[in-house]
Amino acid sequence: METLRGRHAVVTGASRGIGLAIARALRAHGARVTLMAREARVLEAAAAEFGGETAWQTVDVTDAEGVAAAFARAGAVDILVNNAGQAASAPFGRTDAALWQRMLDVNLTGAYHCMQAALPGMLDAGWGRVVNVASTAGLTGYRYVAAYCAAKHGLVGLTRALALEVATRGVTVNAVCPGFTDTDIVADAVANIVRKTGRTADEARAGLAAGNPQGRLVRPDEVAHAVAWLCMPGAAALNGQAIAVAGGEVM
């Protein structure tokens, strides 16, 4: 059912993985989608999947002026999915100020920039959906990713605070919190584990999947379905929630 026909969605970090899966899901429900990410070549290839009917723009979400310009070009936004993110690991003692700041800039401040750009139009229209792709790292702690955890906890807090501010204005703000998902970020994590521990790639993937009570990695389309559900007209009472998509890892 095309329950989102006539709605314009912007998805950041949309060139691959969870972001591209979200774009597919929103398109399947009738939304017009604009893809945003940093790499033009990969974005163009992603947009081509939709037969030339999907707009795309390069943007670095850490650049406030660049974000404002990209959203001005995109036009009025009904649905904003803040999916752009990075994960870098290091023991806390080797987490320098540059790594700390980069995790905050990409995973937290980038979402802030995009919400600042999209929210006024939603409030004027009296309808909008903001979905922030956080992580189970925004709900619990993990070793060796203190900066990433701090940023994702901040994103969940921002979600809840903004949800209360706009609760009477027809706009909802929610977060989805995937566990380890079969994406490039997890592939990078597997490679890092292999390099540092000597385990095989299969052993490293199994170790990451072991935290999920279902014993597997989450699929990007499973996260996308949760995001799309939060964007539906019938999800108007869902506000300020941080929904774990992790097989029961976090309850």
Catalytically annotated residues: 148
Nearest CA to 228 out of 153, 133, 126 is that of 133
Distance of alpha carbon 204 from alpha carbon 189, whole angstroms? 9
Distance of alpha carbon 197 from alpha carbon 64, whole angstroms? 39
Q: CB 200: neighbour CB atoms within 10 A?
A: 12
Nearest CA to 67 out of 35, 43, 23, 36 is that of 36
Distance of alpha carbon 68 from alpha carbon 189, whole angstroms? 32
Distance of alpha carbon 122 from alpha carbon 59, whole angstroms? 21
106-121 burial code (b ≥16 CB/10 A, e <16): bbbbbbbbbbebbbeb
- Locus of tokens 């993110």: 85
- By the 10 Å C-beta count (0-12 exposed, 13-18 middle, 19+ buried), 210 is classed as exposed
* Residue 125, phi then psi, degrees to nearest 5: -80, -20
Which tokens sit at 247?
């097989």
Which segments of 164-238 are extended strands (E)? 171-178
Which alpha helices (H) appear in 107-145, and where do they start and end?
110-125
